[in-house]
Structure 1
Amino acid sequence: MNAMPAIDRRRADTTQSNADFLLAHAAPARIGLAGGSALIDRGIRKAQRLIVDDAAGSAWSHAFLFGERRSDGHWWVLESDLDLRRKQIRLGVQKNRLAKYFDAAEWPNLAVLDFGLDEAASRRVLGAALDLLANATRYSLREIVGTLFALARPTLRERDNLLARENSLYCSAFVQHCYAEVGLQFGSGLSLKNTTPHDIASTPLPHRADYLLRQAGASA
């Protein structure tokens, strides 16, 4: 991995479009954070107020991995998500175009985190993500409830998720699982399946973070 000597946080002009911001910072295996305006996203953001010094909660409700620019000319992402907007419901690890996050009304808060991975490390992270995709890893609402229990009782956060299931990972746990392949853990003593989007945003690991924030909530 390339050396990352310190944490470098930068904020973009809020007049910048989501598309311009994301495309400017896209690179394989970087981490994307998103704070959504939908009801479920607002609920996830609010629930993280227990680990954020802000009564409004966190800026973040979702985490994903940048994949690659493919032959269709589009950047793609790998993520574990609930896709309820289409006729065919998808619950789990999936590939989507980065354009999913171009709507500023739906996704007012965005961040891209660069941990200085070299090409070999990036391949390992994305390889882990593709393995989960191939194995049809599910998105677990049950594990989110287990994480909410742990947020209310911090001593539980370092233990296994109380409601853990096999072959299941919600969004930020999916990202942590993939980064564990290169030895990076976002929080000391934090169980993989109790990792929240805000834990990734506030990690003490050296990295560069670029933010586009239009809505209330702590950024890091």
Structure 2
Amino acid sequence: MAKPAIVLVHGFWGGAAHWANVIVELKQRGYTDLHAVENPLTSLADDAERTRKMVAQIDGPVLLVGHSYGGAVITEAGDLPNVVGLVYIAAFAPDAGESPGQITQEQPPAAAANLAPDSDGYLWVRQDKFQESFCQDLSDDDALVMAVTQKAPLASTFGDTVTAPAWKVKPSWYQVSTEDRMIHPDNERRMAARIEPRKTIELAASHASLASQPKAVADLIDEAAAELG
């Protein structure tokens, strides 16, 4: 049975390389058609368009996988006909008219105070607080690299709302990070329940579950791909 193409969509404060460990894991499982979008993080519309353009280059079925804010991106961009499913990894799954910022305000996460805007309108995680906020289950060295190479979004992107949520028409899967300090775990559980996924798993992981528990994350992606096949 042919495996679908996997398109990995990163979130705020990171780029496509945040998927490094998952990419290696999926390759070892026989996935050969792997893609990781590099989103500009300038607006939800820009990021969804970048993701749509990548999906449009792929012949055949595509499984979209979104981490963090990347979940909002796949929710907005997942309506393309060759997208067969959505996998959310500690991710936002907004409803129509909802923004990641609105969801965050309803249940602020533990690390909310560690975000710092700059004079150009970009929002950063304070470098000295990055590990404890984003990836407390990674090594000091790995956390340092993530902190220094973080890709800050335009703060205004937090307020961008989803139009037509793809999870209402595409089968979905969801991974909750129970130790998440960037999105409140109860917010993740609420969003997961609302999208009525085929399966929800909980990992005792930080927000960076894709880096700290790539095997378990790949297991969920693999299961979704197999079910869709």
TM-score by length of 1: 0.28
Query: By percentage of residues, which structure has more helix?
Result: 2
Q: Which has the higher contact order (CA 8 A, sep 6+)?
A: 1
TM-score by length of 2: 0.28
